[in-house]
Structure 1
Amino acid sequence: MGIVDKAKNTAEKLTGQGKEAVGDATNNDDLKAEGQKDQAKGSVKNAAEDVKDVFKK
């Protein structure tokens, strides 16, 4: 299950990067902030997965 979760988290980060880029290009601060939030959420989830992986060993 860990690899699937990591893939989902990475997809969330990439979606966030896309939203941030579009928000930046269109001067839409709300979309840019949402993209940054999505990236942070994906990063935190990936960190949690890494911690779980350490304890599985």
Structure 2
Amino acid sequence: MSAGKKAKNAAQTAKGKAKEATGKAVGNESLEMQGRVEQAKGDAKQAGEKAKDAFKH
């Protein structure tokens, strides 16, 4: 996985965690759900990149 994509996917996951925590703290279920979705997207992209790397080597 390229370092740039890895960092971008990790940042998306971290951003999602922050949104989820903020949503929990202020009682905003919508923001909390957006955070969970964003984390899932980042995790899925990371898994996809790892799978690509596995087939390259």
Normalising by structure 2, what TM-score? 0.95
Gaps of 5+ in 2: none
Gaps of 5+ in 1: none
Q: Which amino acid aligns with 1:21?
A: A
Moved over 2 A (4+): none
Alignment size in residue pairs: 57
Distance 1:14 1:7 in 2: 10
Normalising by structure 1, what TM-score? 0.95
1:1-56 deviation digits (Å, cap 9, x = unpaired): 62211110000000000000000000000000000000000000000000010111
Distance 2:50 2:2 in 1: 9
